[in-house]
Amino acid sequence: EDQVTQSPEALRLQEGESSSLNCSYTVSGLRGLFWYRQDPGKGPEFLFTLYSAGEEKEKERLKATLTKKESFLHITAPKPEDSATYLCAVQNTGTASKLTFGTGTRLQVTL
């Protein structure tokens, strides 16, 4: 069974204080690893897809990286508008479209 574990559960940063969120996964065959951002009361917003170990993707202050066992979401010089829950999910080559999600990291960025 596919499993995704995210840490920490919650993270409080000051504006400008860089950090990383962790996503550890177990999957028999990785089709893709996905990062989403979710604001309260809204649906998840797609951020990145990573397909193979060593791959990296960047978007503004966010950078996602992938190894064979985990993925990191690096947040550089965060701003208060980066406050949200960040979700990690995997797709298995055997179950195609099904996304298995972690429980997320709640990020709060303060002034």
86, 104, 105, 109: which one binds another protein (CB under 8 A) = 104
- CB-CB contact of 105 with 37 (8 Å): no
Kindly indicate which of the ranges 54-62, 63-71, 75-83, 96-104 contains the residues binding another protein, using the contact rule CB under 8 A.
96-104
Collapse the DSSP code of 80 into the 3-class scheme (helix H, G, I; strand E, B; otherwise coil) and give the result. Answer: helix
Count of chain residues binding another protein (CB under 8 A): 23
The answer to the question of residue 68 lying near another protein (CB under 8 A) is no
CA distances from 20 to 30, 31, 36, 50, 106 (A): 22, 23, 15, 17, 12
Q: Which is nearer to another protein, 2 or 82 (CB)?
A: 2
**Is 43 among the residues that bind another protein (CB under 8 A)?**
yes
The Cα angle at residue 66 between residues 60 and 68, in degrees rounded to 5: 175
Residues that bind another protein (CB under 8 A): 31-32, 34, 36, 42-46, 49, 87, 89, 91, 95-104
